[in-house]
Amino acid sequence: MKRIGFIGTGVMGRSIVEHLLTNKFEVTVYNRTKKKTDDLIALGAVWKDSPKEVADESDVIFTMVGYPTDVESVYYGENALFQTDINGKLFIDLTTSTPSLAEKLYHTAVEKGGNALDAPVSGGDLGAKSGKLTIMVGGDEASFLEAEPILSLFSKTLERHGPAGSGQHTKMANQIMVAGTMTGMTEMLVYARKAGLDLEKVIRTLNGGAASNWSLANYGPRILKEDYSPGFFVKHFIKDLKIVLDEAEKMELTLPGTEKANELYNQLQDKGFENEGTQALIRLWWE
C-alpha cells in the first residue's frame, strides 16, 4: 500500500486525513501550526518537521493550504517538497490555486522524475467530513488513474478535465456558480424575512423546486441559527474570486455577476468577518 503524506490539516484537510487513516493508510503530516495535527497523531498519523521530510517518507503527497503563495512556499521554499529526491513520487495539490501555478508544479515535478496533479475540491467542511467532496483534476491520465483509488475514498464526484491547470480552471467555473448561489440565497432570505415569511418553511419549500441548490440546503439552516462558523472562509473565497476575475481578464471576458459578488465579499471582509464562513454574507443586511 502506498505511503501518504499530507500537508495542511485545516478545516477540510483534517477530515481527509481521517478518511485515509480509517482506510489503513500510513500517513505522515505537516502543518504550519503543529497543534492542529494533535488529534490526527492520536489516531495514528506521524508528524514530520518539514514538507521535505514528508516527501522523503511518502509515495503520494497531498497539499491543501490557503493561498497560491503558500503553495509556492510548500513546494519551492526552504525544506520544501521539491528540495529532495522526488523520483517516482506523485504530488496532488488540493488547494484552490492558479492554473499557471498548477502548470509550473507539473513541469517541475516531471523534470525531477515525479508527477503532479492539480485537484481542487468543492463541498466544504461537510463534504470533507462525509467523504463526499467534488474533486476536479488536471494532469496526466496515467497519474490520475494512479491517484483515483485514493481520491475516491473522500469524494462523491471525481473527474479529470484535461492537462495540468484544467482542475483549477474547473474550480474557477465552480466558484463562479457558487458566487451566484450565495448572493441569490442571501437576497432571497433578506426578501423573505422582510415579507414576514417563516424562513424555515421558505427554505424547505424552495429546496423542493427549481430554486434548490447546495448552498441553500447547507448554509440556509446555519444562517437561521446564526452559525457563521467556516465551512469555507470568507478570506479564501475572496482569494478564489480574484483568481476567477484575473483569469477572465486574460480571456477578455466580463463577468458582472461575479464582480458584484467579489465586491460584496470584500465589503464583508472590511467589516472584520474574513475568518467567518461564506454564509456570513447575510451580515451585510442582518446584524
Find, among 281, 255, 269, 12, the residue nearest to 120 by Cα.
Answer: 12
Query: How far apart (Å, rounded) are the C-alpha atoms in residues 237 and 179?
Result: 9
Catalytic residue, from 171, 225, 235, 260: name it. 171
Rounded to 10 degrees, what is the CA torsion of 270, 275, 277, 281? Answer: -10
Instruction: With residue 255 as reference, give the H or E element that holds it.
Output: none
The grid coordinates listed for 245 are 476575475
Provide the phi-psi class of 152: left if phi over 0, else alpha when psi is between -120 and 50, else beta: alpha
Residue 175, CA distances (Å) to 6, 39, 77, 96, 118 in order: 24, 31, 29, 10, 16
Find, among 157, 158, 170, the residue nearest to 97 by Cα.
Answer: 170
Distance of CA 55 to the CA centre of its chain: 21
- Let me know if 171 is a catalytic residue: yes
**Single-letter residue type at 232:** F
Query: How far apart (Å, rounded) are the C-alpha atoms in residues 76 and 112?
Result: 13
Catalytic residues: 171
